[in-house]
């Protein structure tokens, strides 16, 4: 047996061709393309195709892929009824987790395990998850859902379904880039969860439902919403120093900072910091960006910690008019592409994932009947 490492830190659990991250060089690479080669150049749909197929699509392949996604955007009526019946104050990540599980009941391929069927299920999930998130977002605010316009593309269509109007070019491009930045991230907790479930030869919907459950936690995807709540609670830029002083004195975890792998900074934060500034300047509301910059500076000075992907995505999404409660469901919307890429890869060369535990409990116990205990 190997030696115990808390949280499996630095343990290599499997080999993969999908995503490479270098925690010292601040590198994030999808199928050989550094994110600097993709952000601002490729669309989210091209990156999903790359994650699933190992290469960027040719024009005809991209068109066919977009047509496939458009054909799968509609939700089963029963699922729309479920979303309408869901409690308005239910956590959107809990609604999403439940809705994705229910989605599997209406998919004719749900129990079909061949690669083509799994690719179809991956496309259905990618097309339907943003619709579920947008519908839930509208319904929880007492508004009618806005049916999808898939021809807008996944990013612009999400903002259209959420706001009931098509986004302008800058908003759509920034949101598309944010989806690229969240698409995959090697063996993070939710992706590992998806691979463990897949390794038992369970099904795609079970694996993605489990992954959503893992992403929901504030130590993983749930931090982005908490970052925005923190900024709103602080309220003004001139209160950041005092707030942080008190929070660190209480030994609190500051959401959006630190990372298990990136020890010299998260490369995704560089893009999201710029998006937060651009959108803040466009809307004449740069205070959330400025407060974030001050928090970033202080966290480095006091704790030597850097912002991770969740830190600046908070103010970026806020400036896009997205409700805070939908920040983590949006993370899931994007990460469905990475989860399903890993599910497909796991099945290509599967072995049950079953690590060991070092037993440190009592030994050689002798039974004592209950009337003598």
Burial of residue 147 (CB within 10 Å: 0-12, 13-18, 19+) is: middle
Binding window for ligand SDX (CB under 6 A); candidates: 77-85, 230-238, 248-256, 341-349: 248-256
Contact status: 345 vs ligand SDX (CB under 6 A): no
Contact status: 253 vs ligand SDX (CB under 6 A): yes
Contact status: 254 vs ligand SDX (CB under 6 A): yes
Contact status: 225 vs ligand SDX (CB under 6 A): no
Residue closer to ligand SDX (CB basis): 123 or 295: 295
Among 45, 46, 203, 310, binds ligand SDX (CB under 6 A): 310
Total of residues contacting ligand SDX (CB under 6 A): 21
How far is the C-alpha of 11 from the C-alpha of 2, rounded, in Å?
10
Residue closer to ligand SDX (CB basis): 27 or 68: 27
Binding window for ligand SDX (CB under 6 A); candidates: 51-59, 157-165, 303-311, 353-361: 303-311
Residue closer to ligand SDX (CB basis): 73 or 309: 309
Among 163, 229, 260, 282, binds ligand SDX (CB under 6 A): 260
Contact status: 216 vs ligand SDX (CB under 6 A): no
Q: In angstroms, give the least distance from the CB of 334 to ligand SDX.
A: 10
Binding-site ranges for ligand SDX (CB under 6 A): 7, 185, 188, 218-221, 223, 253-260, 303, 305, 308-310
């Amino acid at each position: 047996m190997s030696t115990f490492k808390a949280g499996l830190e630095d343990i290599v659990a499997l080999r993969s061709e999908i995503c490479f991250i270098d925690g010292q060089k601040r590198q994030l690479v999808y199928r050989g393309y550094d994110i600097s080669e993709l952000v601002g150049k490729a669309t989210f749909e091209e990156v999903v195709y790359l994650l699933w197929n190992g290469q960027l699509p040719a024009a005809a392949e991209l068109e066919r892929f977009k047509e496939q996604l458009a054909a799968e955007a509609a939700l089963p009526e029963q699922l729309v009824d479920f979303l309408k019946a869901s409690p308005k104050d239910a956590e959107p990540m809990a609604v999403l987790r439940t809705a994705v599980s229910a989605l599997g009941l209406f998919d004719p391929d749900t129990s079909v395990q061949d690669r083509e069927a799994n690719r179809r299920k991956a496309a259905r999930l990618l097309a339907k998850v943003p619709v579920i998130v947008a519908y839930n977002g509208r319904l929880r605010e007492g508004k009618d859902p806005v049916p999808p316009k898939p021809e807008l593309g996944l990013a612009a269509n999400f903002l259209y379904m959420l706001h009931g109007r098509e986004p302008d070019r800058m908003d759509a491009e920034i949101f598309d880039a944010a989806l690229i930045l969240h698409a995959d991230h090697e063996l993070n907790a939710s992706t590992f969860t998806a691979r463990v479930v897949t390794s038992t030869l369970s099904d795609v919907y079970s694996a993605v439902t489990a992954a959503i459950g893992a992403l929901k936690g504030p130590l993983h995807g749930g931090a982005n919403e908490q970052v925005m709540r923190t900024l709103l609670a602080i309220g003004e830029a001139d209160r950041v120093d005092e707030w942080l002083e008190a929070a660190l004195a209480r030994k609190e975890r500051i959401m959006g900072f630190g990372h298990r792998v990136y020890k010299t900074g998260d490369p995704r934060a560089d893009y999201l910091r710029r998006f937060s500034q651009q959108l803040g300047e466009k809307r004449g509301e740069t205070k959330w960006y400025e407060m974030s910059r001050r928090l970033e500076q202080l966290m480095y000075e006091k704790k030597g910690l850097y912002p991770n992907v969740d830190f600046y995505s908070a103010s970026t999404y806020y400036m896009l008019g997205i409700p805070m409660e939908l920040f983590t469901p949006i993370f899931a919307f994007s990460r469905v592409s990475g989860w399903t890429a890993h599910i497909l890869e796991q099945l290509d060369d599967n072995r049950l994932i079953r690590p060991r535990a070092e037993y440190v409990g009592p030994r050689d116990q002798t039974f004592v009947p209950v009337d003598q205990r």
